[in-house]
Chains A and B, each alone.
Chain A
Amino acid sequence: MKDGPTFRSIQSRMKPKPMQPTVFWRLAEDIPKPLYSGLTVASVAIPLVVWWAATTWGAIDPRFLPSPAQVIEAFGRLWGTRELLKDTVASLWRVGVGFLLAALCSIPVGVLMGSFSSIRALLEPLFGLMRYMPAPAFIPLLILYLGIGEEPKIMLIFIGVFFFNSLMVMDTVKFVPKDLIEATYILGGNRRTTLTQVILPHVLPGILDACRINLAAAWQLVIVSELIAATEGLGRRISVAGRFLKTDEIFVGLIVIGVIGLVFDLLFQYLMRVTCKWASQKR
């Protein structure tokens, strides 16, 4: 253009889409607190009410879908014989040990992979491959190598968590701003102090988040491992109940599993809020 930039009345070709004011559909904005609390309650209450209504008026065979009252009763029964507690403790113990071992190994490995290209080059291809092998597919091998005791179950959780967690931790490290690392060098930091005093605190929220997500995976794997070979555990409880058509006990098992998982999640969120105030303030 010889005469320099000018406006060419593109405005007349535009079809503006007006935005109506809204409460419910606000994008990336907070909604009023009462509405939020109401929706939160509804998300649990509506399925419960539907369940209750269906079993009360739906004339459904309780062996197919037990009513809430029957499930509560089954809960009382299992709790009374202390079987439920024993199962829960057994599952929690397996997850605790397996997940802790996996976290203890994967966090340092992930931080090193994120910080040093050399270590990333060494491990990322292998880990990337292992990640796509579903952990339950290792069960036959684990039974072959480790028998049917606690070891294969803990190992299964370890395999299922370790590779994912390492790669997720690695990703959080890659997002540490280079400026921050260079500022540390200027202030006289060497590689070791930069790693321990700048990179680590910066990725701590990301590590907690990765662990939170992978704990959910560990919790699923323990149930899977118990479905196959176990004398106790929540997964075992469900599969036995299924064999005897005790649908109410299946429901008890499922609900306990879900609630414990949710408690884990809330614990991690709490931990995050307490240890990383600076990161939660951003949102």
Chain B
Amino acid sequence: MFLKITNLNKNFETKAGSLAVLKDINIDIEQGEFICAVGASGSGKSTLLRQIAGLDRPTSGDVKIDGKRVTGPGPDRGMVFQHYTLYPWMTVQENAEFGLKMQGVPKKERREQSSYYLSVVGLTDFSKALPSELSGGMKQRAAIARALVSEPKILLMDEPFGALDIHTKEAMHSFMLDLWKRTGITIFMITHDVEEAVFCQIASMPWAHVRVQFAR
């Protein structure tokens, strides 16, 4: 099992008392799967993803990737956030290669690598643009390129297309499917949009489906 979540619980201590957001979550994802999780707003989707990313500690239970327990964030996991998180002072290309830069990859190689993934997401022409000059969909594609550049084992996506219109969203869906088929990457995507989740399923992928149903 590639991603294994066992008996995960997460409580938030608030003024009104302890808020149990995640209750006994068990998820298994195989390598190369494209899994969509659906849940209503406020059901704890982002919270779950943060535990997998290692940005937050579960109250109990654990998350294992490739047999290794997650204890903190790391470049083996790529993440695309619900909100735009590009660095506003960097160009699209600089954003894309920033992860490699921090890992000490030489300049020439990271240029090549980031250029390749910018072409994958169709942003070659905008590699010198600042994030403020991009549309919402382009920003998310740039964020996807940034997450892919370090070729993570798993891509975590938190409602990446939530703010997009239906046409752009559909374009992004087929883009994601295409990307997934070509790279063989494992994707765990979170959405509140059942149609978005079902889309993964009907696109001739019997193993990509609505696996987790959050209840609240």
Contacts and interface: CB of A to CB of B under 8 A. Distances in A.
Q: Do A and B bind each other?
A: yes
A231 interface: no
Interface stretch (B30-38, B71-79, B197-205, B207-215): B71-79
Give the contact-size bracket for chain B.
20 to 34
Interface string A106-148: 0000000000000000000000000000000000000000000
A219 B125 CA distance: 48
Contacts of B102: 184, 187-189, 193, 197
Nearest to A282: B132
Nearest to B156: A186
Contacts of A281: 130, 132
Contacts of A276: 89
Given A183-B79, A183-B81, A186-B79, A278 B88 contact: yes
A47 interface: no
A182 B146 CA distance: 14
Given A187-B102, A278-B132, A180 B87 contact: yes
A186 B77 contact: yes
A197 B87 CA distance: 10
A279 B75 CA distance: 29
Contacts of A202: 87-89
A278 to B, nearest CB: 4
A177 B83 CA distance: 11
Nearest to A187: B99
Contacts of B130: 277-278, 281
Interface string B50-75: 00010100000000000000001111
Interface residues of A, number: 22
Contacts of B103: 188
A185 interface: yes
B26 interface: no
Contacts of A282: 132
Contact of A278 (B55, B75, B89): B89
Given A197-B102, A278-B132, A282-B132, A186 B89 contact: no
A188 B87 contact: no
14 contacts: A179-B81, A182-B53, A183-B79, A186-B53, A186-B75, A186-B79, A186-B147, A188-B99, A188-B103, A197-B98, A198-B87, A202-B89, A276-B89, A281-B130
Interface of A: 177, 179-180, 182-189, 193, 197-198, 201-202, 276-279, 281-282
**Lowest 10 CB-CB distances: which A-B pairs, in order?**
A188-B75, A187-B99, A185-B73, A183-B85, A278-B89, A179-B85, A186-B79, A278-B88, A189-B102, A186-B73
